[in-house]
Amino acid sequence: MTGRTRLREVKLTLPMAPDMEVVASQAASSLAAFIGMTPDRVDEVRLAVVECCINAFEHSRSEDRKVDITFSLLGHDPSAEPDTLEIAVHDEGVGFSVNDVEEPRIEAKLRGSRKRGWGLKIMQGLMDEVRILSSTHGTTVVMCKTRGGRDGER
């Protein structure tokens, strides 16, 4: 999100253990509500964070078995209230090529035995912006959502 200043920041380091994605989602929900997102938008942020953490837990093959999450509150002016939540989820795993991720097709998923594989698509649909930075030294997924959204709705 260009043109915005980082006004506040919260960092979490979570072990890749059962239900740790819930801890991340609770922090995301609290911060989204704090900047004035509607309950629907708060739920969208919460679900995107859950999907992102589960992807890291299941696919990173990180030796240290943890994820680092940075929640940043952004605004246009340091003296104004924040209007955007940026969430960066980082793992020290093996990385992946975004270009190699197959776009899920509903027809194939319904017929196939593997119904999963929707995480990235869900995150992209729920958040205003999703950027993925990945290499053999780990992956960082950066997701942004403004208080009012793409179309300025509140």
pLDDT tens digits, one per residue of 28-69: 999 999 999 999 999 999 999 999 999 999 989 999 999 999
Rounded to two decimals, the pTM is 0.85
Task: Identify the pLDDT of residue 109.
Answer: 46
**Cα–Cα distance, 4 to 43 (Å, whole number):** 23
Q: How many residues comprise the chain?
A: 154
CB neighbours of 32 closer than 8 A, spacing ≥ 6? Answer: 41, 42, 45, 46, 85, 145
**Cα–Cα distance, 129 to 87 (Å, whole number):** 10
- pLDDT tier for residue 1 given thresholds of 50, 70 and 90: low
Sign of CA dihedral 32, 36, 42, 44: negative
Task: Identify the pLDDT of residue 24.
Answer: 97
Quote the tokens at residue 97. Answer: 């090529």
pLDDT tens for each residue of 104-145: 665 554 555 555 566 788 999 999 999 999 999 899 999 999
Residue type (1 letter), 28: A
Q: Is 91 exposed, middle or buried (0-12, 13-18, 19+ CB in 10 A)?
A: buried
Task: Identify the pLDDT of residue 119.
Answer: 78
